[in-house]
Structure 1
Amino acid sequence: MEFEVSYTLENEQQFWDELDDIVSAHCETHELIDNTLRSYLHFTTNYKGEYIQTEYGIARCSYKLLESALFAAHKDYIRRQIVYSLLQEDSADTLHFIIAFLLYDGRQNEITLEMMNEEGAFPRLVELIQERKDDETGLHRMQLELLYEMSRIQRLRLEDLMLIEDEFIIYMFDIIEGLSDDVNDPYHYPVIRVLLVLNEQYMVFAHDPGPGQSPTTQLTNKVIKMLSLYGSACKTFGENIILLLNRESETSLQLLILKLLYLLFTTPPTYEYFYTNDLRVLVDVMIRNLLDLPLSATALRHTYLRVLYPLLANTQLQQPPHYKRDELLRLLSMMTSDGGGMTHFGAVDETTKRLVARCVKVKWLAEDIEAAAVASGNETVAKKLLGVELPVAMASSLSVVEVAAHKEKPGVQTPSRREDSMREGKDGLRLSTTAKDGLGAEKSPFEVEGEA
């Protein structure tokens, strides 16, 4: 028999008082815990819309349980029972509370997200996202956020990745293209993040199939596949990932974006996915971010440089007029400087030298490089930059593996030099939140020169 209790409430305060009583129950057996959890879900679902009308209200309900003595004493069991409820429940209102609990708990405790993966929650979430399109927006967005969180902290199982159909990826792109032009729409980024993290899962598998998998096992990256086939219909996605890279301070999310950009710029069908003006914006953002990274962010700096090379070499940026060639050359020369007043990036490691050397070998950057160096008053720049040899084949293979393997723990923020924006650095550069025009005069990263 299903466990149910009837409640008669007269106001919102009574609701919260009663919820406190429910989660405060002292339970010594699994049966009593199950009864309490059923009571919790039945009670919150029953008054959803009456006393719980906002996402804040749903979150508050979740934290009532998360901060209870009951949960503190039986965490593992309660988490597993909530995961089982996710796999079995069909009521949208009840699912909203289940998913909210798992999301808020998972953001603080990765063990919850790992448990979800073990119990097969990934295909269930994919199913809910795709097949329950008519569920309320708040629930749908929370499902996307939970899918993202569980996918970014662990490697997904091959069998789960293989369950993702083309239609699911197309549906994700369709959501983005169908949204408003307001980039602050809270629906934009949960969808984008799901696509970014799925791309990373495909990318990691391609270069490390994992234990028990044959090196010849093939798994199509369906994010890149769909952009290769239908990129012209998915331009809003591209515009948004550039905006997100410009705004984002979380290191792991920057890496997710850079990994996707790397594949787009090294996959021939997507070389010209972005509009030229968007590529110019991206150059501005990358110059600004490379300048703004602290000395300690060596690995992230390397990833930016690994993306910069195919961006400059393979896209329409290789066609004249060449956007910010002098500024790029001056930036790259600074990154390999071993003194002479150029101390912005500190000591130069061998990987940075290798990656900078590869960028400088881009044909349109190398052409007339000595003339550009003379014009800037640095005749030695050309000889130094072009004098570093690097076998192209080695650089290409290293970059693919290194980009795929680079990980960062979620939540870690990339420090910024922007707090020093109002004072001159030792290298004479004044940093700001805007990109630099010629590495001297300030210019907004979105103030783009017109195409010829």
Structure 2
Amino acid sequence: METPEVESKLEEQQFWDELDTILSTPCPTQHQIDVQLRSYLQLISTYRDDYLQSEYDMVKCGFRLIDSKVFSEHKTYVRRRFVGRFLKEPSNSARLHVITATLLYDGIDNPKTFELMLEQNAFARLIDLIWKDVTRLNFGFHKLLLEVFYEMCRIQKLRSQDLEILQDDFIKHLLEQVEEGGGDPDDPYNYAIVKVLLVLNEQYMLSELGMREEGPPPTNRVVKVLSFNGPDFKTFGENIILLLNRETETPTQLLILKLLFLLFTTSRTYEYFYTNDLCVLVDVMIRSLADLPEEENTLRHMYLRVFHPLLSHTQLRHPPHYKRAEIIKLLNQLSNVKSQHFSPADPTTLRLVSRCNKVDWLSDSPIEETAHELARQYLGMSLQDVGSSMSVVEVAAVKEKAPTKPGSKKKERGAPPPPPPGRVRGVWGGLEKAPPPPEVNVEHPKCEPPKCEPKKSLPLANGSLRRRGPPPPIPSARSVHAVKVGVATDS
């Protein structure tokens, strides 16, 4: 079968029709398969600038091949040919872009594709493309390469010679890309880089388990770079905590928790994270441990393994201790062997909870233990289940009186009642006889004739006389209108 020549420029729909025609041609021999694949890639390369501008169009071409008859009948041979081309195609070619998309989506459904890539030493080629050959300006292709890298490392264990290819500068390059991206957790490009770093850490941990008998394991370059250059890559730490808060897939959560465990148990990275991010992590862990279903023992155990070094090694070990009461309550719930609603806790959970309970600032202080003992002896109660966030010891330490409301006319609680009539309170609070009231001297005014002349009576209608009103009252000694009051003083 000869390669068809394109005499005139095809329209967009004609391009897709021609692509389907090439892939639908029967190929009984390997030579015919090779000719068909070359025709397929040549057509894509020719019309790249016209109809294949987006990442979606490139992936669409890859799925056309995966769904074709030639691929369904000769999968193994087509995969091997594409892996070989992946190693040789120029980094800026459209053919390499489509080959990468085809290998990725075929490998997600068939892990043998990624195993074949590792067997054919495609790992080194992948690192070079991500690190040196493909710039971030080619966003879609670079993200596609990162996804292939992640999937290849996720489904299989890397060989020792593959890990030796990795260098500190490659890890720094990935971390710098996260920093330059502004730390947006919703950015799919940053998300792809973070997942690559997480899966590389997993590979180093696997190699350490498998090479203990053979010799010293390779250095974990992810932890090494963060140990010596952690302050330069704080955004990565923020992203993995935010990712743990949002992630719903158990494998990804385990990858994050494993890296956190190493960072919290390595002295140089005890305080790699910001304190605010650690508080967010505590909230996430409290919520996750409280909400995990019973069958998620693996994830629960991993959370508890991370919880202990988080509380004992990081900045959280210094006061004020964040969410202390909530953490103690959670650990008590997890260690409850018998409950009306939950089955008994498994031995591993009990052991890990017991380890967390031994954190210094979670254990009771001598003062609190004394308060618990006094409460049991004299009050007949336990302070363990008190719902208030303020302990009895903290309440007793408050010595200042509560401020009273300004202008309040309420009598102060505990003040003595007012004395009865005829008694006053002495200097020492007793009742004494009240002193006699001061003597009052009243002077009667002199009545002058013109002013004291009685008023004339008015005649009534029948001719009789009658006064206008009742007779004037007699001046009283206490009337302020008719008397002048003075206080007598002893001479």
In which range does the TM-score fall when normalised by the shorter chain? 0.7 to 0.9
1:96-107 matches, within 5 Å, as 96-107=97-108
46-55 vs 33-42, which moves further: 46-55
Question: Which amino acid in 2 is paired with 1:319?
Answer: H
Q: Does 1:75 align with 2:83?
A: no
Structure 1 residue 292, shift from structure 2 partner: 2.2
**Structure 1 residues 363 and 6 mapped into 2: Cα distance closer, same or farther (>3 Å)?**
same
Q: Which residue of 1 aligns with 2:302?
A: 303
Q: What TM-score, normalized by structure 2, do the two folds share?
A: 0.73
Q: Which residue of 2 aligns with 1:396?
A: none
SS at match of 1:234: helix
47-56 vs 29-38, which moves further: 47-56
Structure 1 residue 380, shift from structure 2 partner: 6.4
1:436-451 matches, within 5 Å, as none
Q: Which residue of 1 aligns with 2:170?
A: 168
**Structure 1 residues 112 and 189 mapped into 2: Cα distance closer, same or farther (>3 Å)?**
same
Q: Which residue of 1 aligns with 2:249?
A: 250
**Structure 1 residues 21 and 241 mapped into 2: Cα distance closer, same or farther (>3 Å)?**
same
Structure 1 residue 57, shift from structure 2 partner: 1.3
Q: Which residue of 2 aligns with 1:425?
A: none
SS at match of 2:215: coil
Q: What TM-score, normalized by structure 1, do the two folds share?
A: 0.79
- Alpha-carbon distance in structure 1 between the residues aligned to 2:156 and 2:385: 44
Q: Contact (CA 8 Å) 1:370, 1:379: kept in 2 or not?
A: no
- Alpha-carbon distance in structure 1 between the residues aligned to 2:79 and 2:134: 26
Q: Which residue of 1 aligns with 2:129?
A: 128
Structure 1 residue 242, shift from structure 2 partner: 0.4
Cα distance per residue 1:143-196 (max 9 Å; x no partner): 011000000110001001001111101101110011134321221111111110
**Structure 1 residues 266 and 181 mapped into 2: Cα distance closer, same or farther (>3 Å)?**
closer
Structure 1 residue 362, shift from structure 2 partner: 0.8
Q: Which residue of 2 aligns with 1:358?
A: 355
Q: Contact (CA 8 Å) 1:141, 1:190: kept in 2 or not?
A: yes
**Structure 1 residues 28 and 334 mapped into 2: Cα distance closer, same or farther (>3 Å)?**
same
- Alpha-carbon distance in structure 1 between the residues aligned to 2:7 and 2:127: 35
Q: Contact (CA 8 Å) 1:227, 1:270: kept in 2 or not?
A: yes
- Alpha-carbon distance in structure 2 between the residues aligned to 1:172 and 1:241: 14
Cα distance per residue 1:197-220 (max 9 Å; x no partner): 0011011111222xxx85323310
Q: Which residue of 2 aligns with 1:399?
A: none
- Alpha-carbon distance in structure 2 between the residues aligned to 1:182 and 1:281: 17
1:35-434 matches, within 5 Å, as 35-92=35-92, 93-134=94-135, 136-209=138-211, 214-341=213-340, 343=341, 346-368=343-365, 371=368
Question: Which amino acid in 1 is paired with 2:330?
Answer: L
Percent identity (aligned): 50
Question: Which amino acid in 1 is paired with 2:57?
Answer: G
- Alpha-carbon distance in structure 2 between the residues aligned to 1:288 and 1:44: 50
272-281 vs 32-41, which moves further: 32-41
**Structure 1 residues 116 and 203 mapped into 2: Cα distance closer, same or farther (>3 Å)?**
same
Structure 1 residue 69, shift from structure 2 partner: 1.4
Structure 1 gaps of 5+ residues are: 383-436, 439-452
Q: Which residue of 1 aligns with 2:436?
A: none
- Alpha-carbon distance in structure 2 between the residues aligned to 1:193 and 1:7: 46
- Alpha-carbon distance in structure 2 between the residues aligned to 1:232 and 1:29: 59
- Alpha-carbon distance in structure 2 between the residues aligned to 1:113 and 1:244: 26
Cα distance per residue 1:106-148 (max 9 Å; x no partner): 1111111111111111111001111114361111111011000
Cα distance per residue 1:272-295 (max 9 Å; x no partner): 000111100000011111122211
Q: Contact (CA 8 Å) 1:144, 1:194: kept in 2 or not?
A: yes
Taking only aligned residues, the RMSD between alpha carbons, in angstroms, comes to 2.3
Q: Contact (CA 8 Å) 2:183, 2:239: kept in 1 or not?
A: no
**Structure 1 residues 86 and 332 mapped into 2: Cα distance closer, same or farther (>3 Å)?**
same
SS at match of 1:359: helix
Q: Contact (CA 8 Å) 1:333, 1:381: kept in 2 or not?
A: no
Q: Which residue of 2 aligns with 1:393?
A: none
Q: How many residues align?
A: 377
- Alpha-carbon distance in structure 2 between the residues aligned to 1:253 and 1:316: 26
**Structure 1 residues 45 and 358 mapped into 2: Cα distance closer, same or farther (>3 Å)?**
same
**Structure 1 residues 364 and 86 mapped into 2: Cα distance closer, same or farther (>3 Å)?**
same
Q: Which residue of 2 aligns with 1:15?
A: 15
Q: Contact (CA 8 Å) 2:87, 2:125: kept in 1 or not?
A: yes
Cα distance per residue 1:357-395 (max 9 Å; x no partner): 0011111111339949969x865689xxxxxxxxxxxxx
SS at match of 2:51: coil
Structure 2 gaps of 5+ residues are: 376-380, 390-491
- Alpha-carbon distance in structure 1 between the residues aligned to 2:182 and 2:4: 43
Larger radius of gyration: 2
- Bigger relative CO (Cα 8 Å, ≥ 6 apart): 1
Q: Contact (CA 8 Å) 1:87, 1:124: kept in 2 or not?
A: yes
Structure 1 residue 63, shift from structure 2 partner: 0.9
- Alpha-carbon distance in structure 1 between the residues aligned to 2:366 and 2:13: 72
Structure 1 residue 53, shift from structure 2 partner: 2.0
- Alpha-carbon distance in structure 2 between the residues aligned to 1:20 and 1:39: 11
Q: Contact (CA 8 Å) 2:278, 2:316: kept in 1 or not?
A: yes
Cα distance per residue 1:195-249 (max 9 Å; x no partner): 100011011111222xxx8532331000000000000000000000001001111
Cα distance per residue 1:387-417 (max 9 Å; x no partner): xxxxxxxxxxxxxxxxxxxxxxxxxxxxxxx
Q: Which residue of 2 aligns with 1:27?
A: 27
Q: Contact (CA 8 Å) 2:207, 2:217: kept in 1 or not?
A: no
Question: Which amino acid in 2 is paired with 1:94?
Answer: R
